[in-house]
C-alpha cells in the first residue's frame, strides 16, 4: 500500500462522505451533469447511485506487473463517462450489462478476490462510481483486505474528485487517449479531454509517484496506458513529451498496439483500420528514446 491505512483512516471517512455528496447533484467527473443520483436521475454515464458490476474475478490479461500467479482481481463496472466510438466493451460501457452491487457486496468481493490469491484489486472504469468504491475499500480494509488497489480509468477524471481518493488508491492506471481537443470531441464526445486528462495525471502522480514493484508486482505508483491510433490521431508524441517534461522521466507507460475498429468506428474513416506496425513502433521508439519506462 502507498500510505499506511491507519494514518489515512480518520481522514478517509470524511473523504468517502464528500464523494457521496458530490453525486447529488453529480459533479463527480468533468461532465458535471448535476443530476441527483440518489433520486434515480441519470447523467451521461447512465448509472444511478448504486454501481452496476458486469464481472468480478481474477484476470490474467493485464500488464504482467499486475498479474503475478494469482491474476489481477478485477471488478468491472458498467457505464462510462466517455463516449468512445471505437469502444471494445460497448455492451458493458454503453448498454450497461451487469448487476447492481451494494457497498457491502463490493467489499465482500474484494475479500473474496484476496482469498483467491489475486495480486491486487483492479477497479475497471471506476470514475462514475468512486463514492461506492471508496466506501467499499474502507470497509474491506477494516475487515482485513490488504492488497494494493488499482484505479483503471479512461482518464477523464476531475482533480477535485481525485484529491478525495488520496489514500484509497495505490496504483493509478489512466488512459491517455488524446492530445487534440478536436479528435477527443469526435471520437469520445469530450473536447476538454486533453486538458482534463493532463491535469488528472499530474494529480495522480502527485499522490503516488512513479511505479514501484516488489518481486515483479506493482505495489504503488502511476502506470499510463496509451493506445496508438491510426494516423497519429492519439497525439502520441505530444503525450510522451508531456510525460517526460511535466510528470517524470521515470514514468511507466504501456504503449498499446491492440486498436481495432469496433462499435461505431466504421463510420469514422480514419480509424476504420488497425495502426500499421510502423505507426506503433515509431511511438514505442520515441518513448524509449525519451527515457520512459516502456513496458514490453
Ligand atoms: S459521474 Fe456520471 S452523472 Fe456524474 S457528472 Fe460524470 S457522467 Fe455525469
| Predicted confidence (pLDDT) per residue in 145-160, tens digit | 999 999 999 999 999 9
Instruction: Please tell me the distance between residue 41's alpha carbon and the centre of ligand 1 in angstroms.
Output: 10
Per-residue pLDDT band for 262 (boundaries 50, 70, 90) equals: confident
Per-residue pLDDT tens over the stretch 14-69: 899 999 999 999 999 999 999 999 999 999 999 999 999 999 999 999 999 999 99
SS3 14: helix
Report pTM.
Answer: 0.96
Q: What are phi and psi of 85, to 5 degrees?
A: -70, -15
Q: Alpha helices of 117-265 — where are they, by DSSP H? A: 130-142, 159-164, 181-188, 193-208, 236-242
DSSP string, 56-67: EEEESSS-HHHH
Mean residue pLDDT across the chain: 95
Residue 160, CA distances (Å) to 19, 50, 107, 260 in order: 10, 21, 24, 34
In order of start, what are the domains of the chain with their CATH numbers?
5-294 (3.20.20.70)
Contact indicator for 181, 194 with CB cutoff of 8 Å: yes
What is the whole-number distance in angstroms between the Cα of residue 128 and the centre of ligand 1? 6
Taking the CA atoms of 20, 23, 24 and 25 in sequence, report the sign of the dihedral they define. positive
The owner of cell 498496439 is 257
Measured between alpha carbons, how far is 148 from 188 in angstroms, rounded to an integer?
A: 30
Q: What residue owns the CA closest to ligand 1's atom 1?
A: 128
CA dihedral 99, 104, 109, 112 (to 10 degrees): -150
- Ligand 1 centroid distance, CA of 198 (Å): 19
- Around ligand 1, the residues with Cβ closer than 6 Å are 26-29, 31-33, 35, 43-45, 81, 128
Judged against a pLDDT cut of 90, whether residue 88 lies above it is answered with no
Amino acid at each position: 500500500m502507498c500510505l499506511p491505512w491507519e494514518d489515512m483512516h480518520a481522514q478517509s471517512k470524511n473523504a468517502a462522505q464528500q464523494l457521496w455528496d458530490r453525486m447529488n447533484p453529480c459533479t463527480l467527473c468533468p461532465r458535471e451533469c448535476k443530476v441527483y443520483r440518489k433520486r434515480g436521475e441519470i447523467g451521461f454515464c447512465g448509472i444511478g447511485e448504486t454501481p452496476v458490476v458486469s464481472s468480478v474475478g481474477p484476470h490474467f490479461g493485464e500488464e504482467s506487473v499486475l498479474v503475478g500467479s494469482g491474476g489481477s482481481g478485477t471488478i468491472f463496472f458498467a457505464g462510462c463517462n466517455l463516449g468512445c466510438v471505437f469502444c471494445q466493451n460497448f455492451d458493458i460501457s454503453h448498454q450497461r450489462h451487469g448487476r447492481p452491487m451494494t457497498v457491502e457486496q463490493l467489499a465482500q468481493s474484494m475479500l473474496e478476490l484476496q482469498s483467491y490469491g489475486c495480486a491486487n484489486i483492479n477497479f475497471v472504469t471506476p470514475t462514475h462510481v468512486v463514492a461506492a468504491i471508496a466506501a467499499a475499500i474502507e470497509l474491506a480494509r477494516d475487515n482485513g483486505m490488504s492488497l494494493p488497489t488499482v484505479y483503471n480509468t479512461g482518464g477523464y477524471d476531475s482533480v477535485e474528485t481525485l484529491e478525495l481518493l488520496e489514500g484509497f488508491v495505490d496504483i493509478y492506471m489512466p488512459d491517455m487517449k488524446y492530445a487534440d481537443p478536436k479528435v477527443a470531441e469526435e471520437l469520445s464526445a469530450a473536447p476538454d479531454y486533453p486538458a482534463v486528462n493532463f491535469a488528472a495525471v499530474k494529480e495522480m502522480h502527485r499522490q503516488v509517484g512513479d511505479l514501484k514493484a516488489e518481486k515483479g508486482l506493482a505495489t504503488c505508483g502511476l502506470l499510463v496506458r496509451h493506445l496508438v491510433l491510426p494516423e497519429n490521431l492519439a497525439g502520441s508524441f505530444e503525450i510522451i513529451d508531456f510525460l517526460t517534461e511535466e510528470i517524470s522521466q521515470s514514468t511507466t507507460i504501456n504503449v498499446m498496439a491492440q486498436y481495432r475498429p469496433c462499435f461505431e468506428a466504421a463510420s469514422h474513416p480514419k480509424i476504420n483500420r488497425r495502426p500499421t506496425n510502423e505507426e506503433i513502433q515509431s511511438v514505442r521508439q520515441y518513448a524509449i528514446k525519451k527515457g520512459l519506462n516502456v513496458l514490453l
